[in-house]
Structure 1
Amino acid sequence: MQWAGAVRGRALVGKVAFVAGASRGIGAAVAVGLAGAGAAVAVAARSESRGRLPGTIHGVVERIHAAGGDALAVPCDVTSEESVEAAVAATVAEFGGIDVLVANAGVLWLGPVESTPLARWQRCLDVNLTGVFLVTRAVIPHVRARGGGSLVAVTTTGVGMTDRGANAYWVSKAAVERLYLGLAAELRGANIAVNCLCPNRVVRTEGWVASGGGDLPPEAVEPPETMAAAAVLLAGQDAGGITGTVQRSERLLGLSPSL
């Protein structure tokens, strides 16, 4: 298949990717996929040691190294401007620049608005929206200096599910889509592709399970590797290719054109 070849191939040799929220789930799969396509990858997240959820940045780097890839574990709290700036600086110091950003860090809260504590609402905005703003703002000058590249933000199909109500998670991700669609126009002249990527189906990540996501029939579940393959495809873009779009993983890869 074309998408599988994109992951196995070396389309990103010589590129440097910064993946925020890469210690587990979609982010970890994306980091491994980008490395498999030849990129040097900064694996960025807060999780330096195992906590409530499994997965650490060091564990992901070990996986990449074991497969012959190049990666750096970068501690990063996307809600802290200082932490983000330090993580980006460490990446540039190690690899010489940045060509690709995948902004994946996120927290999940799907409760109805009327019973949502303010702290939960604010946390979703801080991580899912402001965190994307901070890592994107920090990375743009470095991508610009490389003569172009690709920015990808991971969002959700829930943005369009207005018939199912509202929650902090979907609202924060909707704002990210507006941010990135506007950035695509701003950065076209710098040869930087800017896109959002969301799964067609539910990816049962550790966070999904911990947040009370119930059992799902097999046909409703998408493996994280599919998101990784789609991210690799978008990572290879510049402003002359796919930009200013919200892509669904399986549709982008031609796996489920009807979805």
Structure 2
Amino acid sequence: MTGPLAGRVAFVAGASRGIGRTVAVALAEAGAAVAVAARSEREGRLPGTIHSVAGRINESGGRALAVPCDVTSEESVEAAVAATAAEFGGIDILIANAGVLWLGPIESTPLKRWQLCLDVNLTGVFLVTRAVIPHVKARGGGSLVAVTTSGVGMTDRGATAYWVSKAAVERLYLGLAAELRPDNIAVNCLAPSRVVLTEGWTAGGGGKEIPDEMVEPPEAMGRAAVLLAGQDAGGVTGTVQRSEATHRELRSRQLRS
């Protein structure tokens, strides 16, 4: 395929539905070969599987591989990343999107729910990032993107488990950007500017009181992810981006350079 990401390989964790699915399709449309990674091999409580997303990309003329991956398992992550590199010859781009939602107050948050948010949303990002880095280094540079949330700054809503885990990811990636600059690897976080009503968000009850003007189409995240995926350390790195502002931010940086 042709496009700004032609010849590149992307590993998208959490790609069976929602934002991850939209980003995987957008990267493929931009020319990248895409590993569609997630636990969802069969239809369950929520719609979407890695096979349905990969099939959609392949049927549209792109290149995609469905890769089973549990981001909380070191062995599963290592196997998924190795399978991707073996199939496509390497990895240039990571989109760390796998996540679970919990927005209850701290007082009524079960320990197992708190731990699950940290295991998936934070440790999962750590594991997939650590596994992908050597492959991106071997390609001479590339881009790592972690999907976070604009809710990180909502301190008036309480320090909920979901937002705490995402705030920790932002700190992880800001530090990692400095570590990987000498290797020509861009490291950024990407969050929706508004709320994306994904299947997980809606099923968890998070979207029931969101006014229409606060809802963002998932395609905005796809467009922003493509732009960040095309960066290296000489471009945008060490930032927390908001989807609908990413185009303006990149143009501004280009004018200053």
2:3 & 2:212 partners in 1: Cα distance?
Answer: 31
1:168 & 1:110 partners in 2: Cα distance?
Answer: 7
Query: Which residue is equivalent to 2:234?
Result: 240
2:217 & 2:248 partners in 1: Cα distance?
Answer: 15
Query: Which residue is equivalent to 1:177?
Result: 170
Residues 103-131 of structure 1, C-alpha deviations (whole Å, 9 max, x = no match): 00000000000110000000000000000
Query: Which residue is equivalent to 1:109?
Result: 102
Amino acid at match of 1:146: R
1:68-217 equivalences in 2 (<5 Å): 68-213=61-206, 214-217=208-211
Amino acid at match of 2:192: P
1:168 & 1:215 partners in 2: Cα distance?
Answer: 20
1:147 & 1:160 partners in 2: Cα distance?
Answer: 35
Residues 210-241 of structure 1, C-alpha deviations (whole Å, 9 max, x = no match): 10121433211111111000000000000000
2:86 & 2:209 partners in 1: Cα distance?
Answer: 44
RMSD value over aligned CA atoms? 1.4
Q: Secondary structure at the match of 2:240?
A: strand
2:158 & 2:184 partners in 1: Cα distance?
Answer: 38
| Counterpart check, 1:229 vs 2:220 | no
2:239 & 2:68 partners in 1: Cα distance?
Answer: 30
2:48 & 2:69 partners in 1: Cα distance?
Answer: 15
Query: Which residue is equivalent to 2:48?
Result: 55
Runs (4 or more) in structure 1 with deviation over 6 Å come to: none
Amino acid at match of 1:222: E
Structure 1 residue runs of 5 or longer lacking an equivalent are 1-7
Amino acid at match of 1:50: E
Q: How high is the sequence identity, in percent, across the aligned residues?
A: 80
Amino acid at match of 1:247: Q
2:224 & 2:195 partners in 1: Cα distance?
Answer: 15
Query: Which residue is equivalent to 1:3?
Result: none
Q: How many residues align?
A: 249
TM-score between the two structures when normalised by the length of structure 2: 0.95
Q: Secondary structure at the match of 1:97?
A: coil
Residues 47-101 of structure 1, C-alpha deviations (whole Å, 9 max, x = no match): 0000010000000011111211100000000000000000000000100000000
Structure 2 residue runs of 5 or longer lacking an equivalent are 250-257
1:110 & 1:19 partners in 2: Cα distance?
Answer: 24
Which stretch shows the higher mean deviation, 172-181 or 212-221?
212-221
Which stretch shows the higher mean deviation, 64-73 or 177-186?
64-73
Amino acid at match of 1:220: M
Amino acid at match of 2:185: I
Match of 1:43 among 32, 36, 48: 36
Relative to structure 1, the CA distance from residue 163 to residue 216 in structure 2 (aligned partners, 3 Å threshold; closer, same or farther) is closer
Query: Which residue is equivalent to 1:17?
Result: 10
1:176 & 1:53 partners in 2: Cα distance?
Answer: 25
1:155 & 1:169 partners in 2: Cα distance?
Answer: 10
Which stretch shows the higher mean deviation, 154-163 or 169-178?
154-163
Which stretch shows the higher mean deviation, 32-41 or 57-66?
57-66
TM-score between the two structures when normalised by the length of structure 1: 0.94
